[in-house]
Chains A and B, each alone.
Chain A
C-alpha cells in the first residue's frame, strides 16, 4: 500500500442556493415583453387579453380622472372595517377559549361546526338580514377573518410557554396580568399567522360581496367591466386586486417585524 496525498473537495457545493436576483427581475420583465409582443402582432386577440401597455395606459387614465380612487377607497373602507372587526372578535374569542376551560367547552364545538362553512355561501343570507348596503359586505369579511383569527389565537394561547406563565405567577401576577403580559405577547406570532390567513380570505370575500349588489369597489369594477366587455378595464381591476393583496401582505409582514422583534433577528 503506497501512501496517498488527497486534497479535500467541497462535497456540499450542490446544496447551496443562490439568490439569482437578476434572474427574478429578468423573468418577470421577459414575460411582460412577450405578452406585449404577442398582442401587438395579433397572435393574442386584444379583446380577450389586452396588452400590458394598454392596461397601464388605462390605469393611468382611470387614476387621473379620479375614477379609480373612488373604487379603491370604497374597497379599502370595507376591507379595513371588516378585517378590524373580525380580527378583534377573533382574538378575544381565541384568548377566552384558550385560557378559560368553560369558554373552551362552549366555544370550541361551535367554532368547529361553523368554520367549514364557505363564507361566500353565507353572503345571500347576510344580504337578506342586513340589506344590500355596506353592513352585509363588512359582515361577510369580518366573518371570514374571524375564524382563522379565533383558531390561531387559541393555538397561540395554548402554546404559551408554561415556564413563562409560572415565572409570571411567581412574581405575583394574577389571572388578568398573566393574560395581558404573558399569554397575549406569547400568542403574537400565531396571531400574525392568523392575520395573514385572514387577509387572503378578506380579499376574496370583498370581491365576492362587491360582485353581488354594489355600485363601487374594485370587485364591482371587475364585474362591471366584464359585463360591458371592456377587458382592458377588467385587467386594471385585476391588477389593482393583485396590488392590494401584495400590499396587505407586505404591510402585515412589516408590522409583524415591529411587533414581534424577538422572532426575527
Chain B
C-alpha cells in the first residue's frame, strides 16, 4: 500500500503550559515496496512521526492515509522498536506469534508463520530461548520477525539498530536488506545515522530540528541489491554529503542548546 502523510502537525502542552510544536506540516509519501529513511538531528520528532503513523499517538492536525490494495485482515503497520520491546516472559517464538494472536489466527497457522519468519531471520534453534538468553542482535531479529510475521502493509522501524554495537549493527543492516529483498514490504526507517540511511534507503527524508519540518527528500541512486563495495561510490558519497550539509548547522545548534 501507499502511505500518504499530509500536512501532519503535532504539538504538546508542556509543564509550564507552553505549546511545544514537535512536527510542523509534514508531508511525505511512501510508495509500495519502497524503502524510505527518515533522518534528522536529535529532537526533530522522527519517532513521534512514526508513532503517529503507527496509530499510537494522535496528530494535532493533518492526516495519514493508506491507499491501495490490502489483503483481508492485513494490518496497516507493524513496528520494530529501538529497545527491542520484547516480552521477557515469552520465548522468542511466542514473541513472534504475539501479533498473530491478536489477529485471531488459529494455533496451527501461527506456528507455521512464526516458523517461517524465524527461519528468515536466522533464529532457527533459538525459538525456545527467552529474550534475556539472547544477544542484542538476536533480540532485534526477534523484533523484526515479530513485525514481519503479521505481514503489514508498511513496516515501521524506529532506529532499530541503535542499541547494538557497531559490528553487529553493520551485519544486521546487511541482513535486513536481505530479508527485505525477500519480503518486499514498504519500509519507513527512522535513523540519525547518515551512512545507515543512505546505504539502506531508496529515498531519505531529512527533517529539521524542532519544530520538525521536511527540509528535503534526497533520492539515493544506488543499484540494488546493495553491497559493501558501494560505500565508496560517488552516488553514495554525494547523497551523504548532501544530507550532512542539510543537517550540520541544525546538529550544531542542537548541541549548543543542550536540548535533545
A–B in direct contact per CB < 8 Å: yes
Binding site for B on A (CB under 8 A): 163-164, 166-173, 177, 181-182, 185, 188, 260-262, 265
- Of B128-136, B174-182, B184-192, B196-204, which binds chain A? B128-136
Within 8 A of A (CB), among B82-110: 83, 85, 87-89, 98-99, 101-103
Total contacting residues, chain B, CB less than 8 A: 24
Of A168, A260, A261, A265, the contact of B98 (CB 8 Å cutoff): A168
B28 CB-CB contact with A under 8 Å: no
Tell me the smallest distance from the CB of B170 to a CB of chain A, in Å: 26
23 A-B contacts, Cβ less than 8 Å apart?
A163-B81, A163-B85, A164-B87, A166-B56, A167-B79, A167-B81, A169-B56, A170-B55, A171-B98, A171-B99, A171-B146, A172-B75, A172-B102, A177-B102, A181-B98, A181-B101, A185-B89, A260-B89, A261-B130, A262-B88, A262-B89, A262-B132, A265-B133
* A-side contacts of B55, CB under 8 Å: 170
* A-side contacts of B54, CB under 8 Å: 170
State in angstroms the CA–CA spacing of A59 and B87 once bound together. Answer: 49
B239 CB-CB contact with A under 8 Å: no
Contact B85 A164 (CB under 8 A): yes
Tell me the smallest distance from the CB of A128 to a CB of chain B, in Å: 45
* A-side contacts of B89, CB under 8 Å: 185, 188, 260-262
Q: Apart from A163-B83, A167-B85, A261-B130, list 8 A-B contacts with CB within 8 A.
A: A163-B81, A163-B85, A170-B54, A171-B78, A171-B99, A172-B102, A185-B87, A262-B130
Binding site for A on B (CB under 8 A): 54-56, 75, 77-79, 81, 83, 85, 87-89, 98-99, 101-103, 130-133, 146, 150
Tell me the smallest distance from the CB of A177 to a CB of chain B, in Å: 6
Of A163, A171, A172, A265, the contact of B132 (CB 8 Å cutoff): A265
* A-side contacts of B79, CB under 8 Å: 167, 170-171
Contact A182 B133 (CB under 8 A): no
Tell me the smallest distance from the CB of A184 to a CB of chain B, in Å: 9
Q: Which residue of the partner chain A has the closest CB to B103?
A: A172
* A-side contacts of B87, CB under 8 Å: 164, 167-168, 181-182, 185
